[in-house]
Chain A
Amino acid sequence: MQPAGTLPAAPARPAKTASFVQAGFLGGNEFGLIVLICVFAAIFSLATKGFASPFNLFTLGRTMAIDIVIGFSMMVVIVSGGLNLAVGAIGVCAVMAGGFAMERLGFSWPLGLAVTLLVGAALGAVNGEVIVRSGVHSFIITLATMSIFFGGMVFLSRAEAFRGLPPEVAQFGKLRLMGFLSPLFLVSIVAGLVLAWLYRLTALGRRMLAAGASPRAAEVSGIRVDRTIVGCHILSGILAALAGAMLTARHGAAIPSMAGHLGQDWLLPAFLAPVLGGTLLTGGKVSVLGTFLGAMLVSALTNGLLLLRVGEFWVQAFLGLLLLAAVLLDLGRRRLLARHRIAV
């Protein structure tokens, strides 16, 4: 498929040449994801009783919203050519700090949220600084900090949840707009819009993309690559904290185990969404909409399969295969494009 709007003189080129954010909509991942989401939604609506029910849409929306923000928190570091294994650990640490502030120190919920996001930003900053100063790959650094953050959190909290949060928190999680829409979903849309604005319409976002695509070229062009990468990790920490806060609203409590051991349970959704959405793992290319849709597809599939009574555990195996299929399809697509380019 060719992009619609290039000049007639231009030879046929792959679709991903346009602007910062992937254009060539019809040829891109986004369109394919929308088609897949529609197809699966139709199948599940017909094959199961509950899929299209307002209550299921409400709970599905909540799950989607959280997966979307988790995906964003990984996406923003993938942009810089790195990764952040500590997203889950940061998310849990941040909400436990927020929970402490609200329950023990009597903070109101906006202040509690501010504490949560600040702690997320601070832990992200720690990651970024250590990576930049040591020059060691983000994989091993965030593997270590994931263990440190999580261990520290459990040590300080004695693994006890904060259940006495201000009632607004749980109310927000239970709130239903128009009978089926969770406000959490709106939060994820706002987060997506902010990120899209960042990458499309700010100097900082452009710097992040350039630093991710080619750190040396970016440095020689006057970009402070180190600072920019720290910036990416701070943003990742904030988004992880936001995802944690959303999960807290859903549970009505801040629970140390809500992202699994060391926060590992978030890793798969965190990578699935950006990879399905066409964000390059090598950095420098991002699709906010793709990540959004990727997370939606994953949540919808999980939900539908559960309704079809495919066991909860087999769904995890299925998601693993989905990730594999996604990267293989992407590889095939790029090879096809490369061949096409040579033919031109």
Chain B
Amino acid sequence: MERPLLEARGIGKSFPGVRALDDVNLTLAKGSIHALLGENGAGKSTLIKILTGVHRLDEGELLLDGQPVRFADPHAAIAAGVGVVHQERNLIPRFSVAENIMLERLGPSVLSKVDQSVLQAEAKRWLDLLELDVDPATPVGRLSAAKMQLVEIAKALSLRSRVLLMDEPTASLTPHETTHLFALLERLKRDGVTIVFVSHKLEEVLQICDSVTVLRDGRNACQSQSMAGMGRQDLVRLMIGRNEQIPAWAERDRTTEPVVLQLTDVSTMLGHKNVSLTLHAGEILGLYGLVGAGRSELAKCLIGLFPIASGTVAIDGKTVAINSVSEALHRHGLGYVSEDRKGEGLVLAHSVLANAGITVWSKLAGLLGYLKDGTVRSRVSPAIERLEVKTPSLAQQVGLLSGGNQQKVSVAKWLAAGVKILIVDEPSVGIDIKTKAYLHELLRALAEDGTSILLITSDMPEMITLADRISVMDGYRVTGTLVNNRDYRQMSEGIMRLIHGEEPAEDRVVVA
């Protein structure tokens, strides 16, 4: 067999409280398209960051052309020929396409004159190679997302990248643009470029990848296996493990309970069209969809961060107009556990007490807003204890806790507030298995106690473990709703069909 172009051997990486990668191997053959798969939190992004020099590895080694390499920083990786096309664009919006591609090579010294025509001629070569028909003098900020991505690919290629990491490259592309991109990747492959393709969309992986590495819980579920003969089921099985991971909990039906949250033909300023959902008291309604289906965005419209354009939202049967999170929380008892724990969920620099109590300050404050730590503590402690947050004290800075404990705190603050409706967005991203199982039990227990939960997750086993019913979203619409019979295979297939809109009415369960 030919010597692999890039090889990762026994990679280990730990963060405080979490073992992100454990003895992970990856072998990339020259001129191939290699899929890197795994659920959220499986260690994919950590591995990518190690390959591109963002993180240093704790254990193991990287071999490029058989030679051990160490990337001190991202630029070192690029210089060694490992290019990356990120979801967030690494382009200078006001610079021309040519200048962005050639940014590394503007001139020999800082005082040398930048000859735009030379840059444009050179850039044109790479654009032509990609059959990208844009004027190299156009400012990048004026291009569509798809074209910007192609510019990034052109830039990586022009730096003699032999390995091209593509992180969710099709997330913001139309089907037509995706087809074009795939034709291009095929061509690059024939020219000897190795492409690492990271995607949630398994159809795409099946369509264009030659080999696959799947990560699960920071370990290899499979290592550089050929895609020949592999089907979607095989990939899903590798990603999520076998079916018995679903706990044998009883099926629940809460549709006879009163409706607490009802969306009727809701359209939003973010682009949702005619979304209708029904959430009953004590029910867990799942909202499944691929990344970019508009689920978190819908949640943010519901809690008043973005306006609703038309349709009605009713809570406990009364039509409501929620203009801020403060109203959602204090008037309607509606809370939101954000998927972006570090950005939106928690104030990392503040204490556990301040984070868990943030939702109850207004309620607890006395005359002139008087509020002692003790008052907050007595309100928050039960929630912290119920969630078994492991912290030396309530005064501990949240940013220093492990991911799992951080997530517990971000749930605890809504428990402390005593919300009736809780929207939970990707609750188990970046937390360990034990905490995840614990959170599942907790959410189930909360629902048993009467809290209504709208669960957003891309983690299929999590969805089937927890949800009573599952609504599927695609392209900012709800494509259907299924009753969860806890049969993993049936449910996952039903959901997939709804995502692709293959199965019309018969799978939809008419909601009373």
Contacts and interface: CB of A to CB of B under 8 A. Distances in A.
Interface of A: 6-7, 9-10, 13, 16-20, 23, 200-207, 209-210, 213-214, 216-224, 280, 284-285, 341
B365 A285 contact: no
Contact of B393 (A7, A201, A217, A284): A7
Contacts of B369: 202-205
Given A202-B370, A221-B325, A221-B358, A17 B345 contact: no
B371 interface: yes
Given A10-B392, A18-B351, A19-B373, A203 B343 contact: no
Interface of B: 303, 305, 324-326, 328-330, 336, 338, 343-351, 353-354, 357-359, 361-362, 364-365, 368-373, 392-393, 395-397, 400, 413, 417
- Nearest 4 CB-CB pairs, A to B? A10-B392, A203-B365, A222-B329, A202-B369
A223 B350 contact: no
A119 to B, nearest CB: 23
Given A19-B351, A224-B326, A284-B350, A219 B362 contact: no
Contact of B354 (A6, A20, A216): A20
Contact of B326 (A214, A222, A284): A222
A219 B361 contact: no
Question: Which of A207, A217, A222, A285 is the most central at the interface, judged by chain B CB atoms within 10 Å of its CB?
Answer: A222
Contacts of A222: 324-326, 328-330, 358-359, 362, 417
Question: Which of B324, B336, B361 is the most central at the interface, judged by chain A CB atoms within 10 Å of its CB?
Answer: B361
Contacts of A214: 343, 346-349
A19 B354 CA distance: 8
A208 to B, nearest CB: 11
A125 B361 CA distance: 24
Given A20-B351, A202-B370, A219-B325, 9 more contacts: A13-B392, A20-B350, A201-B370, A204-B369, A207-B361, A210-B347, A220-B336, A222-B330, A224-B324
B347 A220 contact: no
B364 A213 contact: no
Contact of A6 (B371, B393, B413): B393
Contact of B395 (A19, A203, A218): A19
Contact of B347 (A6, A7, A17, A217): A217
Contact of A213 (B350, B353, B413): B350
Contacts of A13: 392, 396-397, 400
A206 B347 contact: no
A194 to B, nearest CB: 11
A88 to B, nearest CB: 29
Nearest to A204: B369
B325 A6 contact: no
Contacts of B368: 202
Contacts of B325: 219-223
Contacts of A7: 392-393
